Structure 1
Amino acid sequence: MDIMDIFQMITALVVIVFLANFLLKKLNGIQQPSSQVIKIIERVQVSKSSSLCIVQVESEYMLMSISETSNEVIKTFTNEEKEAIQQRLAKKQHSQEAGQLTSQVASLSSKRAATLTTYIKKWKKQYTEFQKKGTHKT
């Protein structure tokens, strides 16, 4: 067994691992279609094996305890509580969108500032060359 055989085996192993990973992700996406009726609105990890979730089932909102051994509904929210949750979620989403827009504007501004700085340096260089040419003629 020479170095070429070892290299081929390692390459084959790496290709098989990446291919298996890719296929498992594709199969997982096919087997678990997203539900239009049940949505997890928010999830908070309480411990390694349990979490609290706000779950929307059609028009109802429920607080659920989810663990490895059991799932149970702790509370069903009233209409007022449901509206308050929706308002907080909308506010959170708007603030995230505003943050993304702010970072995009800042990125554009810094790119434009860098472009302007480049142009200014170029113009200064050209002006200096122009001045040198002008002083040589006189």
Structure 2
Amino acid sequence: MIEKIRIKKDTNLPINIGDVYQIKNQLYVIINILNVATISENGKQRLMAECLGQKYRSENKSSQYTSTNVEVTYGLNEVDEISFVGEFIFDSAAEIWVQVTAILSTILEKEQIKIKYEVTPVIEWGIKDVEKAILRYRKKHMHLL
């Protein structure tokens, strides 16, 4: 299962694909970095990244899906919600993350914009890759006394 998570780091500390973070007692492996910004907390600059994190030992829902076409209708006051090629969005019907790979067509009809998208499921990492990331995390954070 993939979830959108937010990571904050101090200056000079990287956020990398394959990093593991514990959030609310769950381990997540970063499989995609969606957005990066700087924020100021207590007068100190920090890096903040919105990421897609794969929950450790969770069901792989995306393996059941392939690329597909979807049509979405927007009102004229919703143009800022139109997805762009490359954008990652959550498909609430399938409960998976997908990436917009193409805008296939668009038409303006009666105060509405209809757009046909091609979307592809975000592929979850294989068990071996996740286990390697978890092992690196454990070696880094667990020390013998």
Question: Which one has the bigger helix percentage?
Answer: 1
Report the structure number with the largest CA radius of gyration: 1
Same fold (TM over 0.5): no
Which one scores higher on RCO, CA 8 angstroms, separation ≥ 6?
2
Question: Which one has the bigger strand percentage?
Answer: 2
TM-score, length of structure 1 as denominator length: 0.24
TM-score, length of structure 2 as denominator length: 0.23
